Amino acid sequence: MASTISTGLFNSWDVTNFVVNQGHGVKGLAEMGLETLPKPYVQPLEERITMSKTTHEESIPIIDVSNWNDPNVADSICNAAEKWGFFQIVNHGVPIHVLENVKDAAHGFFGLPAEEKRMYLKDHSPTNNVRFGTSFSPQAEKALEWKDYLSLFYVSDDEATAFWPPVCKDEALEFVKKSELVIRRLLEVLMKRLNVKEIDKTKELLLMGSKRINLNYYPKCPNPNLTVGVGRHSDVSALTLLLQDDIGGLYVRKMDGNSWIHVPPISESLVINVGDALQIMSNGRYKSIEHRVTANGSKNRVSVPIFVNPRPFDVIGPLLEVLENGEKPMYKQVLYSDYVKHFFKKAHDGKDTLEFAKI
Ligand SMILES: CC(C)(COP(=O)(O)OP(=O)(O)OC[C@H]1O[C@@H](n2cnc3c(N)ncnc32)[C@H](O)[C@@H]1OP(=O)(O)O)[C@@H](O)C(=O)NCCC(=O)NCCSC(=O)/C=C/c1ccc(O)c(O)c1
Ligand SMILES: O=C(O)CCC(=O)C(=O)O
Ligand SMILES: [Fe+2]
């Protein structure tokens, strides 16, 4: 392949070694001035987004949450979580400078030289809670995904201050903190429809006892149609709150069909989606929907999801309040860390992780 020969990376092993093991990331590869897509990134036809049916006739709901006490707001949120599993919120109260700063900080982190980012690869990182990586699970994947990430598991302010990379820690922490209220409000509203009247301490820990913030970087890609930014998956969180920049590329599977809907960037909005843990706890009422991201041929894209989760040692299953009306449980009780480890050890495979919890 002419382009990889000109970079000095002669075969697929060289490319993977350079990107994954040496910590250059796909950004390092993209910056070599490739003309064609290296082979390890070529996705099978059926996984390419260009081969899928995309529709512009419908879009996920956009909900103005400026008044949380308005019953119409609550209804719209619960309906969206049931029907779409995905929606955007505006007037959510997270200040614009917090959103702008964390996107800038993402560019700041990925703009560091490879030697500095390499310090956060799994084998070098001073803590398991900070991980720089590429693709999703390169050891399990047939084709790599065109994305680098920094994943930060929030334990405490002190831990974050001590271990998160200096170039982005304040901004990432500020986004986590400033989004806490909107997360709580969303969960209160969603719980009410499930017959959970108040979120006591036990419920709070079960729903939002752990948080992970990822900084995702999708560099400009030669032949974006042959690969993906992120393959089809559903999140394993309870709820995900996603900040995207103005480039676009996130697609959501329409629940009742085979078509994919674009999630258009809306300035100052946040994308919210139900994750597997909430689908399980709601006994299937709220839907954790498959989504994927395209690669982009002309721009570098960043996104910043906050995954709101149970704690690793929590056992999750359908909530008692949900089963009180006599409905049959669809999912068993599972240790949350077992569920997450199962997700992380395979390649992205749509909604297959949920099979792990099905009765
Ligand atoms: C995640 C775990 C299980 C990690 O526990 P730990 O003891 O640190 O286990 P570990 O042995 O280091 O990790 C197990 C494997 O998970 C994978 N892994 C761990 N962390 C990550 C990470 N942040 N990103 C990718 N893979 C990871 C690796 O494959 C590990 O294997 P290895 O590379 O070490 O061989 C633990 O912290 C936990 O239970 N956390 C619960 C809360 C949580 O983190 N929930 C997940 C929310 S994330 C979510 O919902 C979606 C994430 C997502 C989606 C699409 C993407 O493309 C993507 O990149 C990420
Ligand atoms: O980048 C995006 O828009 C979505 C990323 C995503 O789905 C994830 O990180 O789980
Ligand atoms: Fe996701």
Residue 44 lies in a domain: no
Q: Mean per-residue pLDDT for 3-28?
A: 80
The answer to the question of residue 49 being in a domain is: no
| pLDDT, tens digit, 9 for 90 and up, residues 126-184 | 899 999 999 999 999 999 999 999 999 999 999 999 999 999 999 999 999 999 999 99
Consecutive H or E run containing 79: helix 71-83
Average pLDDT, the chain: 94
139, with CB counted inside 10 A (0-12, 13-18, 19+), is exposed
What would the pLDDT profile of 32-53 be if each residue is shown by its tens digit? 988 899 999 999 998 998 767 8
Q: Which ligand is nearest to the CA of 208?
A: 1
Q: Would you say residue 176 lies in a domain?
A: yes
Q: How far is the CA of 293 from the centre of ligand 2 (A)?
A: 7
Residue 50: per-residue pLDDT: 76
Q: Which two tokens stand for residue 163?
A: 């271990």
The total domain count for the chain is 1
Tell me which residue of 29, 17, 36, 35 sits closest to 146, measured CA to CA.
29
In a domain, 4, yes or no: no
CATH number, domain containing residue 177: 2.60.120.330
Instruction: Name the residue at shortest CA distance from atom 9 of ligand 1.
Output: 341
Among candidates 111, 62, 64, 100, which has minimal Cα distance to 245? Answer: 100
Tell me the best of 211, 237, 291 to mutate to test the pocket of ligand 2, counting ligand atoms within 8 Å of each CB and taking the most.
Answer: 291
What average pLDDT score do residues 260-288 get? 97
Kindly tell me if the per-residue pLDDT of 340 is higher than 50: yes
- Smallest CA-to-CA distance from 315 within 285, 357, 358 is with 357
Write out the two tokens for 292.
């994927």
pLDDT at 94: 98
Would residue 42 count as lying in a domain?
no
Q: In angstroms, how far is the first alpha carbon of the chain from the final one?
A: 48
- Give the number of the ligand closest to the Cα of residue 346: 1
Residue 271's domain spans which residues?
61-357
- Residue 119, Cβ neighbours under 10 Å: how many? 14
Determine the pLDDT at residue 255: 83
Q: Tell me whether residue 40 is in a domain.
A: no
| pLDDT number for residue 111 | 97
Q: Is 127 in the pocket of ligand 1 (CB under 6 A)?
A: no
Query: Domain for residue 147, yes or no?
Result: yes
Asked if pLDDT for residue 1 goes beyond 60, the answer is no
Q: What is the ipTM score, two decimals?
A: 0.94
pLDDT (0 to 100) of residue 258: 83
- How far, in Å, from the CA of 353 to the mean position of ligand 3? 13
Mean pLDDT for the stretch of residues 273-290: 98
Asked whether residue 47 is domain-assigned, the answer is no
Single pTM value for the model: 0.96
Q: What digits encode the pLDDT tens for the residues 50-86?
A: 767 887 778 999 999 999 999 999 999 999 999 999 9
